[in-house]
Chain A
Amino acid sequence: MDINKRKRELVNEFSPMLEKTSIVSKLWIVALIAIILVGLYAFYLQLMNGHKITGMRDNVVWGIYIINFIFFVGISYSGAFITGVLHFFKGSWKHAIARIVKIITVLSLIIGPLFILLCIGRLDRLHYLFMYPRIQSPITWDIIAIMTDLIGCFIYLYLTFIPDFAILRDTENLKVPNWQKKVYKVLAIGYQDTASQRERLQKITEIMSVMIIAMAIVAYTVLAWIFSLTLQPGWNSTIFAPYFIIAGLYSGVGVIIISMYLIRKTFKLEKYIRKIHFIGAGIVLLVISILFGYFTFSEYFAKWFSHKTNDVELLDTLFSRYFWEFILANYIGVLVPIAILFFKKLRTIRSITFAAVIAVLGLWLNRYLIVIPTLETPYIPIQDTRPEFVFYTATWIEYALSFAGIAAFILFFKLIMKFVPIIPMSGIIDQERCEEKRKKGTTEQVQ
């Protein structure tokens, strides 16, 4: 196989994604920017007026911002985990979705911590976290974990971009702006696809994959410990760390499936993102949803069975004030995906995506039910007449900023897709090279 010819073919196939922007795409970008602007206005109001324009008050001091934080960071960590694991699989199918997963990882890890910043009372003192850190505090651990993980995932993503940048740099008639071509040249760091360069790149990618898996697990545990190392009823649980990992994987796989569906549809990539991907992801989602349901059930069943006073109060709140949210999150959010994914006949691309949507929404509600009801049922009863101090109701500011975060996520995703083809061309070439070698009967395995 003539590698250069193959490269040119792939570039011809994927360059329209980089060169052209359809009208629909442009409209989308405008809409997303509008949502982000509304969010920025809400942020400005919050800066000017203080946090009292949110729904948070002295008992429920953490609201939707923290929920969005753990939701997005959970997606990111699960993306990192899945990326690392995917690397060790052999097969042509993994290339199509590898880059999607990596991009989701990095973007969520940028958007998530932004939500935490919204929750901090004195943003002008953020540098104190670095000047006077206390390493006994779970928040310090979380900051270290997020920063380390962000840099790691970024480097890892970049490693996979290098060969593609090299191919794009070598393409003569690419119809992209000149500054973009210059960027390709710089970022490709002189990669000429020689055997030694390829080998070196693959070696460091492999080591990073192992590191990414380990970091994802540690960072995720640290995030769960922010809750489970306190004394609060509902939070002080021994299984919070593995529970959060499974829950993150649940939402992560769900977001991956939704992204696959949307990208496949928008760019007509049926050749690359095939049904087998959806079925594979669907089966993973099935397994994780069973595990997730198992963990959730363990949590609440033990509380109900041993009926400690504070646990009973918490369950009362969950089943009275939050009854429908509980049903949606922990019954429908678990059982519907299981039902859809369990039966072979029901596994179509559409239905699997639908199951993923239910999973993601259910998980967000599950995070809500973990954070808020505990803060509403402290050890010492809240004896206050002001309703906003007794119950938490989010205001439009918080919702506006949540949607702005989601819009930012989608917008950045779109912009990256205009910069780099979403299917790694070098991955396809590597795969074909590998198959050729196998056909030729050599034992040299290039992964």
Chain B
Amino acid sequence: MKNNKPSESSSNRRKFLKLGLISSATVLTGTSLFSNFVNEEKQTGSGEKMRVLTPEGKIVEVDASNINKYPEALITPAESRKGIPNRKFVMVIDLAKCKNARKCVEGCQNAHQLDYNEEFIKVQLIQDNKEADPYWFPKPCFHCDSPPCVTVCPTGATFKRDDNIVLVDAERCIGCKFCVTSCPYSARIFNWGHKDKFKNTTIPYSPETGVPATEGTIMKCDFCPDMLRQGKLPHCAQSCPMGVIYFGDINEDIVTNGEETVRFSKLIKERAGYRHLEHLGTKPNVYYLPAVNRQFPLERGFDVDEDIIERYKNVDYVKELKKQGKI
């Protein structure tokens, strides 16, 4: 017995090691295969899913019912040229609170079925001059009151409504891209090639949702009129964890970020709200509150993927940080 035991234990050890190697290899392949399967499912589903706990104690995924109860009577392209009556929408972005969480970008991309690199609202890093600290600058479409994009469209595919919103009708757009060259804020993007998501026929197209997009046409931020018709904030405002984006109606003079509701005129007057590139005469409808008394240090915003930090490599501040080796 004594003699047998050591050899038995060493062979057991060997067997255990072999078991460990085999199982780790199969774990790796198995999970990668399985996760691919799960990810594929998420992409082919048309509605959003949410996780719930059943009475039997199992966590399952069901269709989220309340995400977008867009009216059953779809707003057709012809109807979408009239705005929501008696409203004049306006957005206020508080630069003092933005820390580049990018939840606004992601919320918008989810709602409009955009790819990773397609951004209706972009977060830029702007440094006004060498002495100033740069600030994070979320930039949606400004829905200007004197829109240069609408002026130059030869077919009237982009239009300004009475409720201040500038929409794109992708069924009228011929893709001449004149509007892209004439927007001074670079707010518009073009669909350059074939994409599978264009073939999605389950959802009828409305310029108010912009889904499904069409190849060879323009798309941009639309202030989510489908959300507004349901009395909800646009997706970017809903998704922001810091309450940076306020949205409301100038006629009511009230804007809200989901938690705070304030008088629009009071907010602009007290916090010195301004509009970007005012001197160009476009009369934008997105106001910015200056980045004073910031809630977060600027470095908090660099806590993102490296390829996103690479975007800002031309900003002087980022160059300094790179030189000092902090990024």
Q: Do chains A and B touch in the complex (CB under 8 A)?
A: yes
Binding site for B on A (CB under 8 A): 49-53, 56-59, 61-62, 119-122, 125-126, 128-129, 132-134, 136-140, 143, 226, 229-232, 375, 378-386
Q: Can you add 9 more A-B contacts, CB < 8 Å, to A133-B155, A231-B148, A380-B186?
A: A49-B194, A58-B189, A61-B190, A136-B151, A230-B152, A232-B181, A379-B277, A380-B185, A385-B310
Known: A61-B177, A137-B152, A380-B185. A50 touches B215 (CB 8 A): yes
| Complex contacts, B30 vs chain A, CB 8 Å | none
Question: A385 → chain B, closest Cβ, in Å?
Answer: 5
Contact call A132/B185, Cβ cutoff below 8 A: no
Interface size on B, residues (CB 8 A): 45
Contact call A383/B172, Cβ cutoff below 8 A: no
Question: A173 → chain B, closest Cβ, in Å?
Answer: 53
Contact call A139/B184, Cβ cutoff below 8 A: no
| Complex contacts, B185 vs chain A, CB 8 Å | 379-380
User: Which residue of the partner chain B has the closest CB to A233?
Assistant: B184
In angstroms, Cα B190 to Cα A51, docked, is 10
Question: B302 → chain A, closest Cβ, in Å?
Answer: 14
In angstroms, Cα B192 to Cα A121, docked, is 8
User: Which residue of the partner chain A has the closest CB to B182?
Assistant: A230
Contact call B173/A122, Cβ cutoff below 8 A: yes
Query: Would you list the 10 A-B pairs with minimal beta carbon distance, nearest first?
Result: A121-B175, A121-B216, A52-B193, A50-B193, A52-B192, A139-B154, A61-B177, A383-B311, A122-B216, A137-B154
Known: A128-B172, A232-B181, A232-B184. A385 touches B155 (CB 8 A): no
| Complex contacts, B50 vs chain A, CB 8 Å | none
In angstroms, Cα B184 to Cα A384, docked, is 17
| Interface residues as binary, B183-204 with A (CB distance below 8 Å gives 1, 0 otherwise) | 0111001111110000000000
Question: B285 → chain A, closest Cβ, in Å?
Answer: 17
Question: A236 → chain B, closest Cβ, in Å?
Answer: 10
Binding site for A on B (CB under 8 A): 117, 122, 124-126, 139, 148, 151-157, 172-178, 180-182, 184-186, 189-194, 214-217, 277, 280, 282, 307, 310-312, 314
- Name 19 interchain pairs, CB-CB below 8 A, sorted by A: A58-B190, A61-B177, A62-B177, A120-B175, A121-B177, A122-B175, A122-B214, A126-B174, A134-B153, A138-B152, A139-B178, A226-B178, A230-B152, A230-B182, A231-B282, A232-B184, A379-B280, A383-B124, A383-B314
In angstroms, Cα B157 to Cα A57, docked, is 20
Question: B180 → chain A, closest Cβ, in Å?
Answer: 5
In angstroms, Cα B266 to Cα A256, docked, is 67
Q: Which of A58, A122, A137, A226 contacts B153, CB < 8 Å?
A: A137
In angstroms, Cα B215 to Cα A429, docked, is 58
| Complex contacts, A132 vs chain B, CB 8 Å | 155-156, 172
In angstroms, Cα B176 to Cα A110, docked, is 19
